[in-house]
């Protein structure tokens, strides 16, 4: 319950008290827990990228201006192909400053937001 209130407060603070600038791409860090392979990937907003059996679609990526406290947030959908079906693994906001608040739970992959780039 405490985690929910912290998440809600950060979401409220980033949407109400800070200026949000839309960007053109999200920079994510991915890790395959089986092989230990770590990658940094750029995904344009409105496009998807295949990472192993996962497909990551970026809906929106927001950042704060340089004069404000650094924060990046991305709204994304992650699906996994299993038995010729797409199963939703994660959908929601991820924050670069607090990756643990809204983390994707998956046995093989970890994905988290590093930053949003390309202010529109």
Q: What is the pLDDT of residues 54-102, one digit of tens each?
A: 999 999 999 999 888 889 999 999 999 988 899 999 999 999 998 888 8
Q: Is the pLDDT of residue 118 over 90?
A: yes
Please give, one letter per residue, the 3-state secondary structure of 46-84.
Answer: CCEEEECCEEEEEEEEEECCCCCCCCEEEEEEEEEEECC
Residue 9 domain boundaries: 2-119
Q: What is the pLDDT of residue 119?
A: 83
User: Is the pLDDT score of 113 beyond 90?
Assistant: yes
Tens of pLDDT along 32-55? Answer: 999 999 999 999 999 999 999 999
Three-state secondary-structure class, residue 104: coil
Q: Which residues lie below 8 Å from residue 77, measured CB to CB, with a gap of 6+?
A: 56, 57, 59, 88, 90, 91
**Total number of domains constituting the chain:** 1
Residue 16: pLDDT band with limits 50, 70, 90? very low
Round to whole Å and give the CA distance between 66 and 18.
Answer: 11
């Amino acid at each position: 319950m405490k985690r929910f209130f912290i998440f809600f407060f950060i979401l409220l603070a980033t949407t109400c008290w800070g200026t949000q600038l839309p960007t053109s791409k999200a920079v994510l860090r991915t890790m395959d827990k089986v092989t230990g392979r770590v990658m940094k990937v750029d995904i344009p907003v409105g496009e998807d990228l295949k990472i192993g059996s996962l497909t990551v679609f970026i809906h929106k990526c927001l950042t704060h201006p340089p004069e404000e406290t650094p924060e990046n947030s991305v709204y994304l959908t992650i699906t996994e192909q299993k038995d010729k079906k797409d199963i939703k693994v994660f959908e929601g906001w991820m924050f670069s400053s607090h990756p643990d608040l809204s983390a994707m739970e998956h046995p093989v992959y970890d994905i988290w937001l590093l930053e949003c780039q390309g202010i529109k």
